[in-house]
């Protein structure tokens, strides 16, 4: 069997300089460890509580710590503004960064409304800068390996996708999530939606249901079931609950991608003992390669932090080669259509076609 191509892109030219807006957990546990591993240059960091930024700057040898976003954006040693703040804050930062002709990696979700997401895309085009989205699960080792297997035709024509998660996630540990009414899909299953879209294409409609759990400490939904219909006979399902009250040996975070000639299945290791996690696993069978045999490639890396090399590396390559990044803000509009269709479906108890989200 040919070797699978699944590792994230690392540009040969690593001279582009990154300024990070934010110094929270995602920066500490994923952005900075990933960039250090890849050899990317982080030259500046900003955080509202400057002490957090100073701590990370000391640990990762970041030369500049700023107490304003404007200073970071306009600094001559920043080429890429890496936003690691919440969705409702991104448009205002993008407006400033594009005027400074800085390229941008936005956090996911791209915006708090679909209208604002379209405005971010328009700003990038108007000012001629690249804007990508940190929708990084598509660079997780197992998802990228699955893509490689699918693209080589080893499992035949695609039929069905499912991602099933049953873990305990203490969303209340993130203060900004406690009062938000659009929680699980907007801030978690958005990853699964984007990954399925990456592998299977964009669905026609979404039929979704969301629920709370008795006694939960956050306002929004923490359990979801999301059905996706594609053209023809392809279907997909996301089942996600964050309320497992039992021991971790009862937790699971699994995926299954089925074709006419084979099946890919495995585990998303990042959700076991988060944020420590474990490496992804993948096994597949293919009638085209060897009928009746299961093949288990040994994958290196985890969703956190390795996939974060992919989102930034893809943006850097797009800047260097003057191409559109795979994870462009414009491409991400389709993922957001899926998200907002899911919430409309939950509200109206019906399938919602993506073209209804405008």
Residue 128 Ramachandran class (φ > 0 left, ψ -120 to 50 alpha, else beta): left
- 92 and 157 part of one domain: no
Say which CATH number the domain at 247 has.
3.30.360.10
Q: Is there a domain that residue 269 lies in?
A: yes
In a domain, 56, yes or no: yes
- For 241, how many CA atoms within 13 A lie in the half-sphere containing its CB? 13
For residue 7, is it within any domain? no
CA 342/CA 345 separation, integer angstroms: 5
Q: Are residues 48 and 37 in the same domain?
A: yes
The verdict on 158 and 126 lying in the same domain is: no
- The answer to whether residues 239 and 266 belong to one domain is yes
The verdict on 153 and 110 lying in the same domain is: no
d(CA 178, CA 170): 10
Residue at 159 is within a domain: yes
Residue 245 domain flag: yes
| Residue 8 resides in a domain | no
Domain housing 119: 17-136+307-327
**Is residue 107 located within the same domain as residue 169?**
no
pLDDT in tens, the chain (358 residues): 678 999 999 999 999 999 999 999 999 999 999 999 999 999 999 999 999 999 999 999 999 999 999 999 999 999 999 999 999 999 999 999 999 999 999 999 999 999 999 999 999 999 999 999 999 999 999 999 999 999 999 999 999 999 999 999 999 989 999 999 999 999 999 999 999 999 999 999 999 999 999 999 999 999 999 999 999 999 999 999 999 999 999 999 999 999 999 999 999 988 987 777 888 899 999 999 999 999 999 999 899 999 999 999 999 999 999 999 999 999 999 999 999 999 999 999 999 999 999 9
> CA-CA distance, 317 to 9, in Å (whole number)?
8
Helix axes 141-151, 190-200, angle to 10 degrees: 20
Residue 315 burial (C-beta neighbours within 10 Å; 0-12, 13-18, 19+): buried
pTM: 0.97
Domain assignment present for residue 6? The answer is no
**Residue 79 sits in the same domain as residue 217:** no
In-domain check, residue 11: no
First CA to last CA distance, the chain: 45
171 and 257 share one domain: yes
Work out the burial of residue 100: count CB atoms within 10 Å of its CB; fewer than 13 is exposed, 13-18 middle, 19 or more buried. Answer: middle
């Amino acid at each position: 069997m040919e070797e699978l191509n699944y590792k994230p892109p690392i540009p040969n030219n690593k001279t582009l300089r990154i300024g990070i807006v934010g110094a929270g957990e995602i920066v500490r546990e994923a952005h900075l460890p990933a960039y250090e591993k890849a050899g990317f240059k982080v030259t500046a960091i900003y955080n509202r509580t400057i002490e957090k930024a100073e701590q990370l700057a000391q640990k990762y040898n970041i030369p500049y710590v700023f107490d304003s976003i404007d200073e970071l954006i306009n600094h001559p040693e920043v080429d890429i503004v890496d936003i690691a703040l919440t969705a409702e804050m991104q448009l205002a930062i993008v407006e400033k960064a594009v005027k400074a002709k800085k390229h941008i990696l936005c956090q996911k979700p791209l915006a708090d409304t679909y209208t604002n997401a379209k405005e971010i895309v328009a700003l990038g085009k108007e000012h001629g800068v690249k804007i990508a989205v940190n929708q990084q699960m598509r660079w997780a080792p197992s998802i990228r390996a699955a893509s490689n297997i699918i693209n080589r035709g080893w499992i035949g024509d695609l039929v069905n996708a499912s991602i099933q998660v049953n873990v305990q996630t203490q969303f209340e540990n993130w203060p900004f999530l406690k009062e938000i009414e659009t929680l699980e899909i907007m801030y978690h299953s958005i990853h699964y939606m984007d990954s399925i879209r990456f592998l299977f294409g964009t669905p026609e409609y979404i039929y979704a249901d969301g629920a709370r759990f008795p006694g939960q400490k956050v306002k929004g939904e923490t359990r979801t079931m999301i059905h996706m219909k594609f053209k023809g006979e392809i279907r997909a399902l996301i089942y996600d609950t964050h309320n497992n009250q039992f021991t971790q040996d009862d937790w699971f975070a699994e995926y299954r991608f089925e074709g006419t000639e084979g099946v890919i299945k495995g585990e998303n290791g990042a959700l076991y003992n988060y944020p420590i996690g474990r490496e992804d696993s993948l096994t597949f069978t293919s009638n085209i390669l060897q009928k009746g045999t299961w093949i288990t490639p040994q994958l290196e890396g985890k969703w956190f932090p390795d996939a974060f090399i992919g989102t930034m590396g893809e943006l850097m390559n797009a800047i260097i080669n003057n191409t559109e990044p795979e994870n462009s803000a414009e491409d991400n509009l389709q993922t957001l259509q899926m998200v907002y269709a899911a919430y409309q479906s939950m509200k109206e108890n019906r399938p919602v076609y993506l073209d209804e989200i405008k």
